[in-house]
Amino acid sequence: MEDIYIHPSAHVDESAVIGKGTKVWINAQVRENAVIGENCVIGKDVYIDIGVTIGSGVKIQNGVSVYDGVTIADDVFIGPNVCFTNDRVPRAFNIDWEVTETKIERGSSVGANATIVCGITLGEYCMVGAGTVVTKNVLPYTLVVGNPARRIGDICECGARLVDGVCPACEGDE
C-alpha cells in the first residue's frame, strides 16, 4: 500500500484495499475486504466493517462506525459520531438477521451525531443537519434537519442554501 498513511495504532486488515493518498488515523479499524478510494481521510476511532465500499475524496470524522451494507460514494462528508445502522429488527438473539443496505450518494454531507436508519438513500449533494434522525430517503440537493428528518430547503452543490432557487454563493459563477 504505497502513498497512503496508516497510523501505527490503526488496524487495517491485509485484504482491505486503500487508495493512493488516503490517511487512516489513530485507533481506526478497517475490516476484511473493505475498499476505500483515493484521497480519503479516515478519522480517529473510525470503524469500517467487512466489505464496506467507500469512494474517493471521502472524509469520515472521528468516532464513526460504517457497518456492512453501507455504501459511500465519492466526495462525501461524514461528521463526528454519525451513527449508521444495518439491521431493521435488531435483537441480540437473532442469528439469521439480514443486512439492510444504505446508500450515501456523491457529494452528500452528514452532520455530527446524525443517525442514518438503514434501508435509505441520501441523494447527491444533500445535506443532513447535525443531530438529525433520517428514517426515509433524502432527495438530491435537499437540506434536512430534526427528528425525524424533515426538509427545510434546497441547497447548491457548493453547500449554500438556495434563495428563490438561486445560490447566493455561486450566482455570478455560471
Per-residue pLDDT of the chain (174 residues; tens, 9 = 90+): 569 999 999 999 999 999 999 999 999 999 999 999 999 999 999 999 999 999 999 999 999 999 999 999 999 999 999 999 999 999 999 888 899 999 999 999 999 999 999 999 999 999 999 999 999 999 999 999 999 999 999 999 999 999 988 999 987 554
Please enumerate in sequence order all residues whose Cβ is within 8 A of that of 108, keeping only pairs 6 or more positions apart, or say none: 73, 76, 77, 122, 123, 124, 125, 126, 127, 128
Would the pTM of this model clear 0.85, i.e. be above it?
Answer: yes
Spatial distance between the Cα atoms of 14 and 35, rounded to a whole number of angstroms: 11
Question: How confident is the model at residue 174, as a pLDDT?
Answer: 44
Do residues 121 and 142 lie in contact, with contact meaning Cβ atoms separated by under 8 Å?
Answer: no
